[in-house]
Amino acid sequence: MSSTLSVLIPRGDIEYAVARLGRQIGIDYSGCDLVAVGILKGSFIFMADLVRQIGLPLEIDFVTVSSYGSGTKSPGNISVLHDLRVDVRDKDVLVIEDIVDSGHTISYVMKHIAEKGARSVRLCTLADKPSRRETPVHIDYLGFTVPNKFVVGYGLDFDNKFRYLPDICALENHD
């Protein structure tokens, strides 16, 4: 069976949301010692566009966590494959994520970073899928709320494919 894609959020709307988020984050973190931490691989496109919009001097780092494997449902076990290299002690950390789904992964990452002594840890996510939430998550900066569909594009993937799409699309017939 072949997959079909339908555009949920076009690139123009994404660009507008990224600019809006960047302006607000720039205001909120003015004068702070900010570290932007992207969760790889999904956040890399969003993060690159976002940090250019923030307009403040900041450090950048990444973490890589595994929670999905090659399917569309999270097995629930989370492991850190690549940890922070920047010392976040007494710094303000903005975690940048592609999508918050069940909440398990981002909750784990936020706690993991807080335990490293960050002054503050806030979350910016491109997309939120609250219909799938199993673990409570506070989102400080949100691009879009998406329906309970499997979404790809603008960094979001299915089995490491479709990240390149400039729009956020619903992937149908993917099983």
Domain spans of the chain?
4-172
Q: In what order do the strands lie in the sheet with 4-9?
A: 4-9, 168-172, 151-152
- pTM here is 0.91
Using alpha carbons only, how large is the chain's radius of gyration in Å?
16
Domain 4-172 architecture: 3-Layer(aba) Sandwich (3.40)
pLDDT band at 78 (very low <50, low <70, confident <90, very high): confident
pLDDT score of 70: 47
Task: Give the C-alpha separation, 159 to 43, whole Å.
Answer: 15
pLDDT digits (tens, 9 = 90+) for 91-131: 999 999 999 999 999 999 999 999 999 999 999 999 999 99
Task: Give the C-alpha separation, 159 to 70, whole Å.
Answer: 5
Active-site hit among 49, 92, 98, 101 = 101
**Closest alpha carbon to 135 in 81, 82, 74:** 74
Does residue 101 carry a catalytic annotation? yes
Task: Give the C-alpha separation, 77 to 150, whole Å.
Answer: 20
